[in-house]
């Protein structure tokens, strides 16, 4: 019985960002994510993580073109990402096998995407996302209405993210 109770803790839905004890970007940073904006670009933002084994995952929000880019450095992801549904599920942390792909179960991916879309209304209006696999292939995948509802429900501010100087 105790085992079932513990299992329930893992199966319970994640709390809304508004109920988080700390701003989400701080939690991401504490869990190994680099979340930043460029000093000279107050609009676009990035979240990146190096998994230490050659895999590097980056989200970048491009408000100008109304897209979120998901860039994966491991070429093996290319095979997976040919399936747009899979790419979207991985991007938003809903793929049940994400622990096998990312090397960790990382629901904060979903928080970032939801927060970014809620922060940038143009992205919601455009319903646009591009999944870019290193090597050049880009998959343009429209967001489904349920995903948009989830993103809109998670409208925490991106304010306070550490800025990062432009690379020279």
Rounded to two decimals, what is the model's pTM?
Answer: 0.36
72 by Cβ neighbours in 10 Å (0-12 / 13-18 / 19+) ranks as buried
112 assigned to some structural domain: yes
Q: What is the pLDDT of residue 49?
A: 61
36 assigned to some structural domain: yes
Spatial distance between the Cα atoms of 62 and 65, rounded to a whole number of angstroms: 6
Q: What is the pLDDT of residue 46?
A: 61
- 7-14 average pLDDT score: 39
13 assigned to some structural domain: no
The per-residue pLDDT for range 66-113, each reduced to its tens digit, is: 455 555 544 444 444 444 444 444 444 444 443 333 333 444 444 444
Give the domain range for residue 33.
Answer: 22-158
Spatial distance between the Cα atoms of 101 and 4, rounded to a whole number of angstroms: 27
3-state secondary structure of 159: coil
53 token code pair: 């084994």
3-state secondary structure of 106: coil
Residue 42 has phi, psi (to 5 degrees) of: -75, -5
2 assigned to some structural domain: no
Tokens 């190994």, residue?
32
Spatial distance between the Cα atoms of 27 and 55, rounded to a whole number of angstroms: 21
119 assigned to some structural domain: yes
Rounded to the nearest 10°, the torsion over CA 25, 29, 30, 31 is 100
29 assigned to some structural domain: yes
Number of domains, the chain: 1
5 assigned to some structural domain: no
């Amino acid at each position: 019985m105790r085992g079932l109770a513990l299992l329930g803790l893992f199966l319970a839905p994640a709390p809304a960002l508004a109920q988080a004890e700390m701003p989400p970007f701080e939690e991401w940073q504490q869990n190994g994510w680099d979340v930043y904006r460029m000093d000279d670009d107050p609009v676009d933002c990035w979240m990146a993580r190096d998994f230490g084994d050659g895999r590097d995952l980056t989200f970048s929000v491009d408000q100008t073109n109304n897209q979120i880019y998901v860039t994966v450095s491991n070429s093996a992801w290319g095979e997976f990402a040919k399936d747009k549904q899979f790419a979207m599920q991985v991007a938003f942390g809903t793929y049940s096998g994400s622990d096998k792909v990312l090397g960790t179960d990382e629901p904060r991916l979903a928080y970032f995407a939801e927060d970014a879309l809620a922060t940038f209304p143009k992205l919601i209006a455009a319903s646009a996302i591009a999944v870019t696999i290193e090597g050049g292939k880009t998959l343009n995948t429209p967001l489904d209405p349920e995903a948009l509802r989830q993103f809109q429900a998670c409208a925490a501010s991106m304010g306070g993210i550490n800025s990062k100087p432009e690379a020279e």
